[in-house]
């Protein structure tokens, strides 16, 4: 056992950093990043953060837009809470040093994105997430109560199971006492006991071959909580961003922000035809699920590898000023977006489901909180409204910190937490198998559990994933712990949950579109670790 802390925060994006900063005045915080502090999903967020700021906007409009995008599965109470608390959290981000773009008169330069009825997106050029990450990382590094562990991989959360106590499968009082971390540089596993643990590990983009997410997005938090018998919700709702740059071989796929369509860019087929009005009256500004399916259909019907995003008719200087990173990126591969169309293709982008949490960010496991993309709060429903994710992360981190600070002093840290079992051997052929299984898992998810699904495809995916799961668990049982092996295991767990949830959702709704159930039947679904021979 290496150390004890009051608050253990796993993940260093917006959710993790903001929780750490709000908890730090009250106790000792350990902030864990599996690579570097700034290597997060937050850093890659281009478009911005949604909040009602302008006098012409209203909470009711933002709530309505969110509910419409969520396709009937949002929790309206949660939506109203997040929308109502958003402006105050924007003020907090600014106090922490985040600089949002403003107009000449000092007002916020608000953008509009697909599904929004008003201009309400605060942004910093086309790298808003990078700016937020910069500001909060600087604050965390300077805070005397925050210790930062970079290059430490969270292997599993610590519960009663690790203490040798008999705990029933559905024990209502399962508690989290911290986590086991793999010190990558030191090649050793340590236990970090904590009164409170915050899971903020981001999404699952690397379940798929094509994703806008960085390589770190491997569903770690979801898999850890699932293995600890926590409740996971709505994993079938994977949001594919409609417009990632089509540039084969590059990973992650470069995101072409939805804000460009809000700026006036339109989608066209390879023959130049504008096609979105065939699918939705909002055209290129329809919600992401509709746009992604439309592009997918156009590509299949026409036999094309991509479509185009056309911004050539927009004011050129304003285009370059608003989207300097997109402009430079495209120019680096020979595309001048002021004169030429941008080739785009949908890519896995955001996980709308995840660890079930209440309005205080509390998971089904006592003393374990979660915030950000790794959670299912009820805000997004069946489909996330653009730029609602960053505001969700900071609102829930604030609520979780408030709740955790109020209770953490009453939590006891057990003194008999055992060391991690380090038995195992590593062989060169094992790394080859890990790499092969990882790629095969991505192919399975991409081919069978993508934008359009069917019962047959989902069964094929489950059957094939079962084989990889069995091989990986056998390897895990005998191998020395490594990040690649743990990530493979986590993505397989997450992939299983996506497939299982998709099979249970016998309707087409939001991001889950299946050719076998065209009619909608609303229902609540949870995967609660029910016994199953196929359970991963």
pLDDT by residue (tens digit) across 241-286? 999 999 998 999 999 988 899 899 999 999 999 999 999 999 998 8
Measure CA 418 to chain center: 32
Q: Which domains does the chain have, with CATH numbers?
A: 243-346 (3.90.700.10), 428-527 (1.20.58.100)
Active site positions, annotated: 288
**Phi, then psi, of 122 in degrees rounded to 5:** -80, 140
Contact 242, 344 (CB under 8 A): yes
| pLDDT single digits (tens) 315-362 | 999 999 999 999 999 999 999 999 999 999 999 999 999 999 999 999
**Which of the four pLDDT bands, split at 50, 70 and 90, describes residue 519?**
low
Rounded distance, CA 155 to CA 209, Å? Answer: 24
What pLDDT, on a 0 to 100 scale, did the predictor assign at position 408? Answer: 97
What pLDDT, on a 0 to 100 scale, did the predictor assign at position 420? Answer: 84
| pLDDT single digits (tens) 195-228 | 999 999 999 999 999 999 999 999 999 999 999 9
Rounded distance, CA 508 to CA 505, Å? Answer: 8
Rounded distance, CA 536 to CA 530, Å? Answer: 11
Rounded distance, CA 382 to CA 521, Å? Answer: 13
Q: Check whether 521 has a pLDDT greater than 60.
A: no
Structure tokens at 333: 């591969």
| pLDDT single digits (tens) 406-459 | 999 999 998 888 888 766 555 656 778 899 999 999 999 999 999 999 999 999
3-state secondary structure of 190: strand
Structure tokens at 518: 């065209």
Q: What is the dihedral of CA 299, 302, 303, 305, to 10 degrees?
A: -40
Rounded distance, CA 429 to CA 433, Å? Answer: 6
Using a pLDDT cut of 70, give the percent of the chain over it: 93
| pLDDT single digits (tens) 176-203 | 999 999 999 988 999 999 999 999 999 9
What pLDDT, on a 0 to 100 scale, did the predictor assign at position 113? Answer: 87
Structure tokens at 304: 């094309």
Q: Check whether 374 has a pLDDT greater than 50.
A: yes
Structure tokens at 438: 């990882």
Tell whether omega for the bond before 278 is within 30 degrees of 0, i.e. cis.
no
Contact 395, 78 (CB under 8 A): no
**Which of the four pLDDT bands, split at 50, 70 and 90, describes residue 8?**
very high
What pLDDT, on a 0 to 100 scale, did the predictor assign at position 123? Answer: 95
**Alpha carbon of 46 to those of 112, 125, 256: distances in Å?**
13, 8, 8
Q: Check whether 525 has a pLDDT greater than 50.
A: no
What pLDDT, on a 0 to 100 scale, did the predictor assign at position 259? Answer: 85
Enclosing H/E stretch for 305: none
> Average pLDDT, whole number, for the chain?
92
3-state secondary structure of 196: strand
């Amino acid at each position: 056992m290496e150390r004890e802390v009051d608050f253990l925060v796993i993940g260093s994006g917006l959710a993790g950093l903001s929780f750490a900063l709000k908890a730090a005045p009250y106790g000792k915080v350990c902030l864990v990043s599996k690579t570097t502090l700034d290597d997060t999903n937050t850093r890659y967020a281009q478009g911005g953060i949604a909040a009602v700021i302008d006098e012409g906007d209203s909470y009711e409009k933002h709530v309505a837009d969110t509910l419409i995008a969520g396709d009937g599965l949002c929790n309206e109470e949660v939506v109203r809470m997040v929308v109502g608390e958003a402006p105050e959290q924007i003020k907090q981000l600014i106090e922490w040093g985040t600089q949002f773009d403003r107009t000449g008169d000092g007002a916020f330069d608000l953008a509009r994105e697909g599904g929004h009825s008003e201009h309400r997106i605060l942004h910093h050029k086309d790298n808003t997430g990078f700016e937020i990450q910069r500001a909060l990382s600087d604050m965390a590094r300077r805070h005397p109560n925050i210790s930062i562990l970079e290059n430490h991989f969270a292997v599993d959360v610590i519960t009663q199971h690790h203490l040798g106590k008999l705990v029933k499968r559905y024990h209502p009082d399962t508690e989290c006492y911290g986590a086991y971390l793999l010190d990558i540089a030191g090649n050793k596993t340590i236990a970090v006991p904590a009164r409170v643990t915050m899971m903020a590990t981001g999404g699952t983009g690397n379940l798929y071959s094509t994703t806008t997410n960085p390589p770190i997005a491997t569903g770690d938090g979801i898999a850890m909580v699932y293995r600890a018998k926590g409740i996971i919700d709505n994993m079938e709702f994977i949001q594919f961003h409609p417009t990632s740059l089509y540039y084969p071989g590059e990973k992650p796929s470069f995101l072409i922000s939805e804000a460009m369509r809000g700026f006036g860019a339109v989608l066209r087929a390879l023959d130049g035809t504008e096609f979105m009005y065939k699918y939705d009256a909002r055209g290129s500004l329809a919600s992401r699920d509709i746009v992604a399916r439309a592009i997918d259909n156009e590509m299949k019907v026409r036999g094309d590898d991509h479509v185009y995003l056309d911004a050539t008719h927009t004011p050129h200087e304003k285009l370059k000023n608003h989207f300097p990173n997109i402009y430079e990126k495209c120019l680096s591969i020979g595309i001048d977006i002021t004169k030429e169309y941008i080739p785009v293709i949908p890519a896995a982008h955001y996980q709308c489901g995840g660890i079930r949490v209440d309005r205080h960010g509390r998971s089904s496991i006592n003393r374990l909180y979660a915030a950000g993309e790794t959670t299912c709060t009820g805000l997004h429903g069946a489909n996330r409204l653009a730029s609602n994710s960053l505001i969700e992360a900071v609102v829930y981190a604030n609520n979780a910190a408030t709740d955790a600070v109020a209770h953490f002093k009453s939590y006891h840290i057990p003194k008999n937490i055992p060391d991690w079992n380090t038995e195992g051997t590593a062989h060169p052929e094992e790394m080859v198998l890990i790499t092969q299984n990882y790629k095969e898992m991505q192919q399975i998810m991409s081919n069978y559990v993508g934008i359009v699904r069917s019962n047959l495809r989902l069964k094929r995916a489950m059957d094939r994933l079962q084989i990889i799961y069995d091989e990986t668990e056998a390897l895990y049982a005998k191998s020395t712990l490594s990040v690649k092996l743990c990530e493979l295991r986590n993505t397989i767990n997450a992939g299983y949950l996506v497939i299982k949830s998709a099979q249970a959702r016998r309707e087409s709704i939001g991001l889950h579109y299946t050719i076998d159930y065209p009619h909608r039947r609303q229902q609540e679904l949870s995967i609660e670790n029910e016994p199953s021979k196929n359970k991963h």
